[in-house]
Amino acid sequence: MSYDLIVKNGTVVSASDTFVADVAVAQGRVAAVGRITGEAKTVVDAKGKVVVPGGIDVHTHFDMPFMGATTIDDFTSGSTAAACGGTTTVVDFAIQKKGETFRHALDDWHTRADGRCAVDYGFHMIVVDFPDKAEKEMDKLVDEGVSSFKLFMAYPGIFMSDDSTIFRALMRTKENGGTICMHAENGSVIDVLVKKALAEGKISPEWHALTRPMTAEAEATHRAIALAEIAGVPIYFVHLSAGDAMEEVRAARARGLPVFAETCPQYLYLSHADYRRPGFEGAKFVMSPPLRPEGNSERLWRGLVRNDLQVVSTDHCSFCMKAGTNQPGKELGKKDFSKIPNGAPGVEYRMLLLWDAVQKGRITENRFVEITSTSPAKLFGLYPRKGHLNPGADADIVVIDPNKPHTFSLKNHHSAADYNPYEGVTTKGSIRDVFSRGTALVSDGKWVGSPRHGKFLKRTPRTF
């Protein structure tokens, strides 16, 4: 038998097992796993290295216009950063504008990504306007492989949906098999707190967090779970940050409800203290939900171990600090924290930050694979094509060198952002090789791919 690629002698890790094996690839798919005797055009030695399925980040914002700026990472720089960090699939958010059809918004996002994305990609649709006539259009999107929809309980006047809209969207997913992804923060209450703080002259980045309390996230999470329960459908919480919100998810799951949630590395590794960095530096960490007080991350780690949280994604949403060639930066909010574009880069750091957690004994290597690849694939209609390395799956393969440390820095990252939130942090382990459908994107730690390699992924409707 002759293969295109064999990754030899690596320690292969799946969501359930760890074993030494070769992985053979033919025509972009995994052809065999085990002791392989055939030949291959390319043989990569992975002895002493860890071989995992490509990371799947189901929460990125590339080329996203928001709060008077557009994210500095477009599909090309964002997806190159993803690949260099061991992520071979992203699900990005197309955004419907007020009065616009889903069709129009989706076409727009296809244009942004088509021929410009290094890794395979899918889309969720951000729902801003949901008149009755949009219900059929929603069904059509599910048929076209855009099978998840994000609604916001925050950002009044921009993205926020009221309870009746949320409830109608949830009910429609009972018919069409879509999944509602929820940004759960009580936007109306936050708005009052923001106005009050500004009126009192509290303008620094730290006030972004002080006006978005954990309880505002927990309350919205509770309410959304109730709405989903009444509608009789599953619900998925994006970027869950607060331990109190997680308790709502945990309680619902304990009652047998199909409630799921992701958290992000920033809520596991950074904290409110980062808003107190000197000068305007805290703006680097202005995102919503905000970073939480110390101690909160311990609760999230426990939740990841106990499966209260099923996925770690990034909410990659990169704005520069300083104005760039054609984009304003976070400086927009120098005199008013509420004008700082919300978001931070993350897609390139997720896999190594979580691999470091394996090395430190916080999670097992199998749980690492589950939360970074297998579960996101299953929850978002990408399984069995992606999320594992059994024969038949896309040959999205990441080789981690567990003995070579990596230090995060602006100097070596591939995002176009002008800062790295993890500057100077060293992880135990580095990304050595990355293959997408059998094609090398990263070799020996260096980018060797094409920024046009990625293909649009038609995702299946929900199977849970």
Residues interacting with Zn ion, by CB under 5 A?
183, 315
Distance CA 359, CA 340 (A): 36
CB of 19 to Zn ion, least distance (A): 36
3-state secondary structure of 279: coil
The answer to whether 79 touches 121, Cβ cutoff 8 Å, is yes
Q: Of residues 287, 309, 379, 395, which one binds ligand DUC by CB under 6 A?
A: 287
The interface mask with ligand DUC, positions 36-55, x = CB under 6 A, is --------------------
Q: Which is nearer to ligand DUC, 6 or 218 (CB)?
A: 218
CB of 45 to ligand DUC, least distance (A): 41
Residue 195 is classified by DSSP as H
Q: Of residues 288, 318, 372, 374, which one binds ligand DUC by CB under 6 A?
A: 288
Query: What, of Zn ion, ligand DUC, none, does residue 49 touch, CB below 5 to 8 Å by kind?
Result: none
Q: Of residues 183, 250, 284, 385, which one binds ligand DUC by CB under 6 A?
A: 183
Bridge partners of residue 50, in order along the sequence:
11, 400
Least Cα distance to 427 among 343, 348, 338 occurs for 348
Distance CA 139, CA 169 (A): 11
Residue number, nearest CB to ligand DUC: 287
Q: Which is nearer to ligand DUC, 422 or 435 (CB)?
A: 422
Query: What, of Zn ion, ligand DUC, none, does residue 287 touch, CB below 5 to 8 Å by kind?
Result: ligand DUC
End-to-end C-alpha distance for the chain, whole angstroms? 38
Least Cα distance to 319 among 330, 311, 309 occurs for 330
The interface mask with ligand DUC, positions 60-79, x = CB under 6 A, is -x----x-------------
Residue number, nearest CB to Zn ion: 183
The interface mask with ligand DUC, positions 304-343, x = CB under 6 A, is -----------x-x------------------------xx
Q: Which is nearer to ligand DUC, 120 or 315 (CB)?
A: 315
- Tabulate helix, strand, coil % of the chain (nearest 5): 35, 25, 45
Under the criterion CB under 6 A, does residue 147 sit at the interface with ligand DUC?
A: no
CB of 309 to Zn ion, least distance (A): 16
Least Cα distance to 5 among 433, 350, 324 occurs for 433
CB of 28 to Zn ion, least distance (A): 30
User: Please, what's the largest Cα pairwise distance for the chain?
Assistant: 73
Element (H, E) at 198: helix 187-199
Distance CA 357, CA 204 (A): 32
Distance CA 206, CA 331 (A): 15
Query: What, of Zn ion, ligand DUC, none, does residue 184 touch, CB below 5 to 8 Å by kind?
Result: none
The answer to whether 30 touches 23, Cβ cutoff 8 Å, is yes
CB of 154 to ligand DUC, least distance (A): 7
Distance CA 439, CA 419 (A): 30
| Residues that bind ligand DUC in the complex, under the rule CB under 6 A | 61, 66, 183, 287-288, 315, 317, 342-343
